[in-house]
Amino acid sequence: MTVRVVLADDQPLIRSGLRVLIADAPDIVVVGEAGTGAEAVELAAAVRPDVVVMDIRMPGTDGIEATRLVTAGPEPPHVLVLTTFDDDDYVYGALRAGASGFLVKDMALEDILAAIRVVAAGDALIAPSVTRRLIARFAGQSPPEPPPRDVGGITEREREVLTLVGRGRSNGEIAAELFISVATAKAHVARLFSKLGARDRVRLVIIAYELGLVTPPR
């Protein structure tokens, strides 16, 4: 299966670098490019890609609003947000808007390729560096919350999965580390959502830190 991608970024050099990289990937093809959020919304509706690689900061309609509009339609594409270290205030908004993944722009291009594949497969993915920033911001600006009341109801395997989610692992990476299938990893994550009352993967990350399963970087 070929993953069809739209690149949305107001910096032509970033789009060019991604386009050149993707050209060498036999399973991914760029079907369009946009320099603004409004263009990304129109292009996504016109060409119906599998993944939109979306910059957050763009003139006019920014990446958050564009993500909200792109994911609001029927059978929407997955949105993979490109962010920078000073974009923390935008990440939560993009999560609420329906983004499936977050990457930082200084990651290796090969890692971005892998992320496109992960998101296209239906997994959520957050770069570990973004995860650490999210947790630091959460810990520094939000009052501490008690652990979920029913945390004792998770199994030892689910605790292992929660720990790996807290470290920013994708479902595929969790499966590889625990020697289980990707389908089983997805099932464990789904049960954690239900048991812990988590709305999204980032909330699972926060819970993992609250429980001490993952230690914040110093």
pLDDT tens digits for 155-214?
Answer: 999 999 999 988 878 888 899 999 999 999 999 999 998 898 876 676 787 788 778 887
State in words which class domain 145-210 has: mainly alpha
What's the mean pLDDT in 76-81? 90
Question: Which pLDDT band holds residue 24 (cuts at 50, 70, 90)?
Answer: confident
What's the mean pLDDT in 41-69? 93
The fold for domain 3-122 equals Rossmann fold (3.40.50)
Kind of pairing, strands 28-34 and 51-55?
Answer: unpaired
Distant-in-sequence contacts of 142-146, Cβ < 8 A, 24+ apart: 144/210, 145/210, 146/210
Domain boundaries, the chain: 3-122, 145-210
Query: Rounded to two decimals, what is the model's pTM?
Result: 0.69
Name which of 125, 76, 123, 78 is nearest 104 in CA terms: 125
E-assigned strand segments in 58-140: 78-83, 101-104, 125-126
Same CATH fold, 145-210 and 3-122?
no
